[in-house]
């Protein structure tokens, strides 16, 4: 069965830069039966757009990037059926336990309509500005997802990894979707991380 998704990046330009008006577009998409709305992520932008690894970068430094969890929460409040997607959220820029809480809370508020899409991003400057090491980002994201699974299913929860370590932690609410699927949007890699290569690859 064919499904239709729309991305909202840049749609505020239809409204003179008013991103709040995009909420009305998403409401109309929901009423029209569109299956999914998606928003992407950059926390900050560095100036070296020539380093974009997928060809010419299609925008400039003046373009705004709206935070995905916040934006999707606004969309959830005016819709009933449309799936709400992070496509993608740069996971390592968020602390693992905060990511788990944000995602679980959102899934509850949207009544189980969240599609979690995670990735690593491509800008070292973004990691530097956030105070997050660029090196080890694959392992950081892998551990983040395992932390989320732990916190979403157990209380008290424990996790002992290289980037996250805790014992006897309680983090409620839990997501409505059980299990909550997590998808990855990454460039092809050649270092054996097959579970993390390619969009639509779930963590085993």
Does residue 168 sit within a domain? no
- Per-residue pLDDT of 58-98, as tens digits, reads 888 888 999 999 999 999 999 999 999 998 999 999 999 99
Residue 83 zone, left/alpha/beta (φ > 0; ψ -120 to 50; rest): beta
Q: Which of 27-31, 36-40, 49-53, 65-69 has the lowest mean pLDDT?
A: 49-53
Does residue 42 sit within a domain? yes
Supply the pTM of this predicted model: 0.87
Q: Do the strands 165-169 and 157-160 form a parallel or antiparallel pair, or are they unpaired?
A: antiparallel
More confident residue, 61 or 99: 99
Say if CB 104 and CB 152 are below 8 A apart: yes
Q: Euclidean distance between the first and final Cα of the chain, in Å?
A: 26
CATH number of the domain encompassing residue 89: 3.20.20.30
| CB under 8 A, 24+ apart: contacts of 145-151 | 145/91, 145/118, 145/182, 145/203, 147/96, 147/97, 147/99, 147/100, 148/96, 148/99, 148/100, 148/103, 148/182, 149/179, 151/97, 151/100, 151/101, 151/104
Q: Residue 14: pLDDT above 90?
A: yes
- The overall average pLDDT reported for the chain is 90
Report pLDDT for 7: 96
- Per-residue pLDDT of 111-168, as tens digits, reads 999 999 999 999 999 999 999 999 999 999 999 999 999 999 999 999 999 999 999 9
Look at the chain and report how many structural domains it folds into. 1
Report pLDDT for 124: 93
Does residue 118 sit within a domain? yes
Q: How far is CA 40 from the centre of its chain?
A: 7
How wide is the angle at C-alpha 73 spanned by C-alphas 71 and 75, nearest 5°?
A: 75
Q: How far apart are CA 107 and CA 101, in angstroms?
A: 10
* 43: containing domain: 5-132+173-196
Q: What does the chain come to in residues?
A: 204
Does residue 20 sit within a domain? yes
DSSP letter at 62 equals T
Q: How far apart are CA 87 and CA 98, in angstroms?
A: 19
């Amino acid at each position: 069965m064919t499904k239709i998704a729309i991305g909202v990046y840049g749609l505020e330009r239809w409204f003179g830069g008013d991103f709040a008006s995009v909420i009305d577009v998403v409401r109309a998409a929901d009423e029209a039966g569109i299956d999914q709305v998606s928003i992407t992520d950059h926390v900050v932008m560095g100036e070296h757009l020539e380093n974009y690894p997928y060809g010419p970068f299609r925008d400039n430094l003046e373009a705004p990037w709206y935070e995905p969890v916040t934006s999707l929460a606004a969309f959830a409040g005016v819709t009933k059926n449309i799936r709400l997607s992070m496509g993608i959220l740069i996971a390592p820029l968020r602390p693992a336990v905060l990511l788990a809480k944000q995602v679980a809370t959102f899934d509850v508020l949207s009544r189980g309509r969240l599609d979690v899409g995670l990735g690593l991003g491509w800008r070292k400057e973004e990691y530097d500005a956030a105070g997050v090491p660029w090196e080890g980002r694959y392992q950081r994201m892998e551990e983040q997802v395992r932390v989320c699974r732990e916190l979403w299913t157990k209380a008290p929860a424990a996790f002992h990894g290289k980037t996250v370590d805790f014992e006897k932690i309680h983090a409620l609410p839990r997501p409505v979707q059980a299990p909550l699927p997590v998808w990855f949007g990454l460039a092809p890699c050649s270092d054996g991380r097959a579970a993390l290569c390619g969009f639509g690859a779930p963590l085993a």
